[in-house]
Structures are given as C-alpha cells and as structure tokens.
Amino acid sequence: MNNGSSPSFAMVAGETSGDLIASHLLQAMRLRWPALSAMGIGGPHMSRQGFVPWWSSDRLAVRGYVEVLRHYRDIINIRKELKGRLLARAPELFVGIDAPDFNLDLECDLRAAGVKTMHFICPSVWAWRADRVDKIRRAAQHVLCIFPFEPDLLHQQGIEATYVGHPLAQAIPLQPDRSAARKRLGVAAEAPVLAVLPGSRASEVQYIARSFIEAATQLQRLKPGLQVLIPALPHVRPAIESLIAGSSSPFIRVVDGQSHAVLEACDLALVASGTATLEAALYKRPMVIGYRMNALSWQIMRRKRLQPWVGLPNILCRDFVVPELLQSECSPQRLAEEALAWFNAPDKAHALQQRFSALHQELLRDTAQLATDAIQSVLQS
C-alpha cells in the first residue's frame, strides 16, 4: 500500500447530495493521506478535492422504479465497465457513497474478488426495504452511519458500523447568518423570501417543479413583496426556466447552484423530499416537503415503507414537525396553503427552529476523525 502514505481509493457517488457528502469525506481523507489517489464516479464537488471522475454522477441520478427502467441499460453498462476497471487494477479500498441500488451490487462483486469495501450512508432499511440487510452484510465490511440510531440496528444484524455524524452538520453553521447570505445573493434585507428546491434530478424537476412554481406564484399574490429564489444546477436549469416563463409570476429568480446560500437567506422553503430537507432543517428553516413521481413507482415504494414519514426532519424528530405533501397532495393549492400557514404562525416557526437546533447538535460530530479512523481500520484489517 505504498507504505501507507499514498493509498488508492475508488468511490461512487450517484447524485448531487452524494457528490457533496463525498467531497467532505475526501477532504478529511486527504488530510490523513495527502498523496492519496481517488477515482470512479463523482461530481464537481469531488473533483475539487482531486477526485478523477471516470463518469459523472449525473449518469446515476435517477429515482423511481419506472424511471430507472428507462436508463437501466446505460446504468448496467457503466457498472459493468467500472467493475472491470477496478478488478483489473484493484484499489486499496472501495467506498460506495449512498446510491445503494448501484453500489451494493458492485460492492458485493468487488468484495467477493478480494477488494476491501465500505459504504458511507447506511441505506435506510429502518424506513423502507428492510430486505436490503442481507445484501449490506455481503457488500460492505464496514458502514459509516450518519444517524445515531443506525449502528445498533446494523450490529444486531452482524454488520460492522460506526456513527460518524452527518458531514452537513459540520458544513452548515449552528447559527446561520441570514443577513450575510442575502447580501451575497443581492436580496433586500427585510423582504420575505421563499426558497424553492424542486430536486436535482431531471426526473424530479419533471414531476415536481411545475407545482412548486405555481405554488410560489400563488404565494406572491397572497403575500406582496415575496421574493422567490430557485437554486438550479446547469443540467436542470433550462427546464426550470421554461416553467417560469410559462407562469404568471411577477418575480422568480433562478440562482446558479448556491442552494446553501439560498436556504440561509430564506424565511421558508418548499423542498422536494431528499437530502435538501435535512439541509433546510440544519439552516433552521420552516419548510413544506413535497414529492411526486411516476404513479407506478409510487405504488411500489409505498408498499415498502416502514414508517409514516418520508422527510428526513420528520423521521429524525419522529413526528410530523413539517408538512409532507405527496403525490396528489403535492398540488399548487395545498403547497401554497401550508407555506402561508408558516408565514402566519411566527411562534410555531420559532419553536421549530429550536427543535432543529437540537437536531443539529445531535448530528454534529468530528466526522473527519471518526470516518478516517474507520477507514484506517478497514485498510489494516
């Protein structure tokens, strides 16, 4: 292993949130192994940490059974070629970053061939698809967990695991600076601001963005002076701008990326279910969670759910602390109603912020130290 000073790592992150989380892990790994090499599938955040992407994480950014079928051949071909490369020249360690449908099968194959494997972000077997436990046991020698209750569940199943905290809890300040964020974005200090985050996948924008934008338009009529900000990545921005052009909104501004700045600047967020809901919670912002997908995909996923919640803030708080509007409920009218209710209940919003502050403290750990310690132990095993 090159005297332990320059190990080679392979990594796969399957979407924008995985790319961001993996970049924080890479930054910590490089502090311990400055000469490391890392390659595989990733995005721009990982690339800024010296990662070499053989494929972009956008190629894997698909959610839902029917949606995956449309891209199945491409995804399978990527996994087959990636496996071939990694078996031909094996890394010291493979780290799968979330994307369990892609990574767990790959990890099983690599581990069976003698490659050491880890998985970062425990698949949410406690929320749905508990049948994945057996595959996790075969796939990963060690799982890095971002929620405190996960290691005990995995240990009960004979799976080595470590709670490392959530990288975003370190990346996001305990006390967000709304004024500074508004200055950076050129937003008036006293204006009411709504953040709209309809997802980072093209399929999410297809199913969700229109309802979110129409809800924002309704809110602007009900709350004069409301500023609406939509952070958008380049691959979904044209679709979002097309929807805005077809709306009757007097002002909706699309921002290149900068989702954290937008969440820090806003008073309230409309958020597609996913990691962005946790980001909004860590910025202590009230939110309305919405989600819609292909009807058949929804029916399949709904039958596999083990909990009444789908949004991470509600799952972690074990309560419906923020509204969840799914499928037919994710309509412009309902979204606007729930959003307006937050604007009209400042005391309730303040109580929620206190709860999110406690959640932030619970997720805040020395992730860099804990994660790299666990990686070191696997490398030496």
294-348 per-position pLDDT tens digit: 777 666 666 666 567 889 999 999 999 999 999 889 999 999 999 999 999 999 9
Task: List pLDDT tens digits, range 93-126.
Answer: 999 998 998 999 999 999 999 999 999 999 887 6
The tokens of 66 are what? Answer: 């029917």
d(CA 171, CA 319): 25
Q: What residue type is 128 in one-letter code?
A: W
Q: What residue type is 65 in one-letter code?
A: Y
Confidence at residue 59, expressed as pLDDT on a 0 to 100 scale: 82
73 Cβ partners below 8 Å, 6+ apart? none
Q: Residue 164's closest CA among 363, 378, 377, 376?
A: 363
Q: Is the pLDDT of residue 71 over 90?
A: no
